[in-house]
Amino acid sequence: MNVPANATAANLAENWAESLRSGQLEQGPSWLRTLRSAAASEFLLHGLPGNKDEAWKYTSLRRLEDLNPALGVTGTGVDAAEWIPLLSPAGGFGFRFVDGHLQWLHQQAPQGVSMLSLQDVLSATGQDQLNHLRPLLEAVDVGGRGHAFEALNTALLRDGAIIHVAAGVDAGLCLAQWGLGGRADCRLANFRLIIILEQGARLQLLEQFQDAGQPADKPGNEPQKNAGQALNLMLQAQLAADSVLQHVRLQSAASTSILLTFSDVHQAARSSYTCTGFDVGGGLVRHDINCRLAGDGARAEVNGAFVLDHERHVDHHICIDHLAPSCSSEQFFRGVLGGSSRGVFNGKAVIRPGADGSRVRQSSANLLLSDLAEIDTKPELEIYADEVEASHGATVGSLDEQAVFYLRSRGLGDTAARRMLTVAFCRAVTARLPDAAMAEQIAAVLEASMPKLG
Amino acid sequence: MLQVKNLHVSVDGKPILKGVNLEVKAGEVHAIMGPNGSGKSTLGHVIAGREGYEVTAGDILYRGKSLLGMAPEQRACEGVFLAFQYPVEIPGVNNTYFLRAALNAQRKYRGQPELDSMEFLRLVREKLEILHISDDLLHRAVNEGFSGGEKKRNEIFQMAVLEPALAILDETDSGLDIDALRLVADGVNRLRSPERAMIVVTHYQRLLEHIIPDRVHVLADGRIAASGDADLAIKLEDQGYAWLEQGGIVALNKMAGSHGGRRAGA
């Protein structure tokens, strides 16, 4: 059946309805089938969010509608082995999800770390493990239009990976590599990543999202008009007491790609979650990051830098929920927007009653390099507890002309001076990475992605 | 080296310089003094090419060529250097990286091969040694978190690396204690050379106790009111700028005509 090129949101949900009803996802026990079908019903009932939904006010799904991807995956030939990630740090275990196929990377996971494919767990032999995951899988809120993609992710639950780190184990570096694009037919791939850190466990997670057809959407080039792909990724992380998850994301997908990520991080006492994300590509990108600081002294830090050109659209929606006393959280974002790109930052921190002695910091600073670029920035604080230390700030501006003159007066050309200052602006975020070599590599990626000036 | 001819400059339509004439030859150090608001800093900025200054009449000739049509970076590449009164803090840009990029931009302009990081480091170490500056400023972001003295020393260090033919030091003494002042002045003195001209812009005479100028010019109300040798600076310090405004110019001009007397700092 031919589908019109510009389906409306309703049409898109309609097009997906058949796949959702057809019951092709019969794997798993009955409770899981019930979970899937309940999520499918929610999705079919509410459909996709629109600009009347507060959380989607600045981010239209028009591009997803235009792309009109079918659900599910059919491999048509991008070889995961030929896919070259931008960052290749030494060592690291992990996986690659390219062209709808999960592939383990060569290095074995260290002792105390288990890495499983969700599909394997869904098979008859994995029932025990699946039962352990049940509370986690059932905890996903799929109700209402605002949770359409979580509902879709649950309804289509099949592809995924589970990483478990035993108590006290330092798992080292885990690589998660996502290939987008490169295929002839448009698909919305669906993936669930589950990370469980037991008490005192540590993990570094390096995620890279890029076009499967080429190493990266080469900065400065006009967007390629290849068939786009979409990925609906949900990350669920459970951090037991004193565990540490260091999460780095580098997204350099093609302009035609659509990426939707939803992270739910549940944190017990004194656990620490640091997410530092870099977006230099993609067509439509939405990151939802929710952290629940449920135990005393837990700490969450969500940092991000985005360097956008052309018509890219990157939206960050962050909510850090302080539920226990003496927790701290920080959101630190830097955005550089050129072309007719658009950025959205909606960073919220909620200090619940009883979460006394919380510390919250939020900072969002943005540079607009073109008259057509746009940023919507909205830091939000809701405080219902006592003795809370909170600061927040948001700025939108252009480069400091005094600094530009200073550099030019030393011999640097206007463009070189502006570029140097713009990269420096983003280095405030790379400087937060614990690995200096990786920070330099990512700074170089940011620099190479800088929009043309003027 | 530098000829400023009947220079008139306005900022937002308000005349600041009203006919400045100045000639500085290679090897000379000239001091420009004057009260606040006299246009001292404007002169430095206009020579360096800062935006926001409108040249309504006159010209600035450097090695016989007019600077007025040149972008700031072109002036820098031609050998003009301005040491800022308020060096700008640039978080995220490493001092060494920045200076190498600047030097290589200048070398490229002059058709010289660019220096790789090893060659550059060798040059930088040599300059640090000459100026007695510790190398910790190499590893820091440009001026970020620098004390007043460190910022000014960094300006002198940049000057030493870029080796300009014409250097303008804009109130390099402001905000410095006596030790920092001496360090900065020593640095400047080491960079004096027969091929290099320097203009030292200052409000106070104290810097000129350490950097002995060949000529001193007093800028008042947008014009050079008097010119003389180093003694002129001492006279000014004794009398203050108020005296100048109350008719002291005549006396100054008389003084400027005479020679000899003690040299400052000698």
Each residue's pLDDT tens digit, B120-169: 999 999 999 888 888 888 889 999 999 888 899 899 999 999 999 999 99
pLDDT > 70 fraction of chain A, expressed in percent and rounded: 90
The reported pLDDT for the residue numbered B21 is: 95
Q: What is the pLDDT of residue A73?
A: 62
Domain range for residue A272? 9-398
Q: Which residues pair with A285 in a beta bridge?
A: A259, A314
**How many distinct structural domains can be found in chain B?**
1
Sheet holding B197-202, edge to edge: B80-83, B166-170, B197-202, B29-33, B215-220, B223-228
pLDDT beyond 90 at A435:
yes
Place of tokens 């920092």: B180
- Chain B residues with CB under 8 Å of A412 CB are 73, 101-102, 105
Mean pLDDT of chain A: 89
CB contact burial B191-211 (16+ within 10 A = b; e otherwise) = beeeebbbbbbbbebbbbbbb
Assess whether pLDDT exceeds 90 at residue B248: no
B101, A413: Cβ pair inside 8 Å? no
- Residue A183 is predicted with a pLDDT of 56
Instruction: Classify residue B205: in a domain, yes or no.
Output: yes
Residue of B nearest to A401 (CA): B51
Least CB–CB distance from B92: residue in A406, A417, A424:
A424
The band of A75, judged by pLDDT with boundaries at 50, 70 and 90, is: low
Residue of A nearest to B84 (CA): A406
pLDDT for A79 equals 66
Please give the residue that has the higher pLDDT: either A69 or A115. Answer: A115
* Pick from A197, A297, A195: nearest CA to A239: A197
CB of B28 closer than 8 Å to CB of B197: yes
**Which phi and psi angles does A13 have, rounded to 5°?**
-60, -40
Residue B27 domain-assigned? yes
Q: What is the ipTM of this complex?
A: 0.91
Within a domain: A349: yes
Q: Does B35 touch chain A (CB under 8 A)?
A: no
Average pLDDT over residues A96-108: 86
Is the confidence at residue A69, as pLDDT, over 90?
Answer: no
Interface check B110 vs A, CB under 8 A: no
User: Does some domain include residue A180?
Assistant: yes
| pLDDT of residue A453 exceeding 80 | no
- CB within 8 A of A213, min separation 6: which ones? A78, A181, A182, A226, A254
Task: State the Cα–Cα distance between residues B95 and A47, nearest whole angstrom.
Answer: 54
The reported pLDDT for the residue numbered B112 is: 96
Q: Is B87 on the interface with A (CB under 8 A)?
A: yes
Strand partners for B15: B10
Domain assignment present for residue B231? The answer is yes
As a whole number of angstroms, the distance between CA A242 and CA B155 comes to 48
Considering the domain boundaries, does residue B160 fall inside one?
A: yes
- Residue A187's pLDDT is 83
Separation between Cα atoms, residue A229 and residue A211, nearest integer Å:
9
In a domain, A186, yes or no: yes
Structural domain span for residue B169: 2-257
SS3 (DSSP) at A273? strand
pLDDT at A217 over 60: no
* A411·B102 Cβ contact <8 A: yes
Which pair of structure tokens corresponds to residue B235? Answer: 């006279």
List Cβ neighbours of B151 (8 Å cut-off, separation of 6 or more).
Answer: B87, B143
Is the pLDDT at A216 greater than 60, yes or no? no
pLDDT tens-digit map of A11-28: 788 888 877 876 556 777
Number of domains in chain A: 1
**Could you read off the pLDDT of B155-183 as tens digits, one per residue?**
999 999 999 999 999 988 888 888 888 88
Say whether A307 sits in a helix, a strand or coil. strand
pLDDT reading at A223 higher than 70: no
Instruction: Report yes or no on B266 lying in a domain.
Output: no
Residue B264 has pLDDT above 90, yes or no: no
Residue A417 domain-assigned? no
Provide the pLDDT for residue A222: 44
How much is the pLDDT for A181? 64
Report pTM. 0.84
| pLDDT 10s digits, B208-246 | 888 999 999 999 889 998 888 888 887 777 777 766 666
Nearest to A146 by CA among A346, A5, A361: A346
Contacts with B48 from chain A: Cβ below 8 Å: 409
Residue from A279, A390, A275 nearest A336 by CA: A279
Residue A448 lies in a domain: no
Q: How many CA atoms lie within 13 A of B123 on its CB side?
A: 19
In a domain, A151, yes or no: yes
Residue B263 is assigned to a structural domain of this protein: no
Structure-token pair, residue A94: 């992990």
Q: What percent of chain A has pLDDT over 90?
A: 67
CA–CA gap between residue A312 and residue A62 (Å, rounded): 13
Is A348 inside a domain boundary? Answer: yes
Helix (H) or strand (E) holding A37: helix A30-46
Asked if B67 is an interface residue toward chain A (Cβ–Cβ < 8 A), one would say no
Chain A residues inside the 8 Å CB shell of B98: 407, 410, 420
Please say whether the beta carbons of A423 and A393 come within 8 A: no
A interface toward B at CB cutoff 8 Å?
400-403, 405-414, 416-417, 420-421, 423-428, 431
> Min CA distance, A454 vs chain B (Å)?
17
- Taking CA atoms, A160 is separated from A190, A194, A201, B39, in Å, by 8, 8, 22, 69
The pLDDT tens digits for A256-295 are 899 999 999 999 999 999 999 999 999 999 999 999 999 9
For residue A426, tell me if it sits in a domain.
no
Segment B10-53, tens digit of pLDDT:
999 999 999 999 999 999 999 999 888 888 889 999 999 999 99
Looking at residue A178, its pLDDT comes to: 92
Q: Name which of A408, A410, A421 is nearest B162 (Cβ-Cβ).
A: A410
Report whether pLDDT(B93) > 60: yes
CATH number at residue B126: 3.40.50.300
